[in-house]
Amino acid sequence: MRLVSYKDGRAAQLLDGDRVALLTDSMRTVIERWARDGTLPFPAPGEAVPLGDIELGLPLADPSKIIAAPVNYRDHQIEMNVDAQVGALGFFLKAPSSLLYPGGTIELPYRDRRFDQEGELAVVIGRTASKVSECDALEYVFGYTGLLDITMRGGEDRSTRKSFDTFTPMGPVLVTADEFGDPGAVELRCWVNDELRQQATTADLIWDVAKLISYASSVATLYPGDIVTTGTPAGVGPIEAGDEIRLELSGLGIPLTANVAADSTVACPTSGRNRSPGLTRRSLRTRE
């Protein structure tokens, strides 16, 4: 099933790529129903409407937590010039308040820091998971969606640098696991304006989706609606006001987009600017 949400929280089923049929439940209720009895709702009576006629919201606006994988592609590890990767680092948390609806505007907070785009495949948990095995982990997945992990470069803790309001655009489509297929064979492409910056496949993840879920659930209980995001490949680069970011993931169909603004920037009050891992030449893009 391919699902989207209205901005008012109502869920809808995506039909044939460009029309939607309203469901009787919110996305939260849809997930809880699936967790309880394994069923999905039918659309409410009435005609489907064109996708372009509705304002899309976040596929799931209220996760209890967003669990993120640091350095989970080898090429990104090389790009960042760091020794450690997900197998040594575990995971970090992003604030749920950083979520941004698809097509929204990322607001850069500081005028004297670098901010990068990071495109990722994200997992929506469907059942309560605690200490689950890798073999069973995918049974706890409700579905998959796209996510942008916007990042301030520097020496501050990852959870700080990635948790500013608007720094986690997500959506627009949530595809249930039964329809999505193999999360280890997803093609990812991310553009900033007309520049294709990231192109990869989730087959290159260091820790695949099952291992991420299994490990995360060994540390913290995962609840229906929680988000586990899988990390970004090489190709991160600076973003600035006026940019448009577009993320495409095979299996989702509709890209995730976000605009960038810097309307109320101030000087950064922390001193981590020059304390981040060294970035390779490929990632040190400058604007002509």
Range of the domain at 11: 1-57
Between CA 235 and CA 230 the distance in angstroms is 16
Rounded to 5 degrees, what angle do the CA atoms 75, 185, 209 make?
75
Residue 12 within a domain: yes
Each of the 288 residues of the chain gets a pLDDT tens digit; together they read: 999 999 888 899 988 768 999 887 899 999 999 999 999 887 766 778 898 888 999 999 999 999 999 999 988 888 888 888 999 999 999 999 999 999 999 999 999 999 999 999 999 999 999 999 999 999 999 999 999 999 999 999 999 999 999 999 999 999 999 999 999 999 999 999 999 999 999 999 999 999 999 999 999 999 999 999 999 999 999 999 999 999 999 999 899 999 999 999 999 999 998 876 656 545 555 443
Residue 214 in 3-state DSSP? helix
Query: Which of 204, 189, 173, 178 minimizes the C-alpha distance to 248?
Result: 189
Between CA 146 and CA 253 the distance in angstroms is 10
Residue 182 within a domain: yes
Residue 269 within a domain: yes
Same domain, 163 and 231: yes
Same domain, 11 and 95: no
Residue 288 within a domain: no
Please tell me the total count of domains within the chain: 2
Residue 24 within a domain: yes
Between CA 131 and CA 125 the distance in angstroms is 14
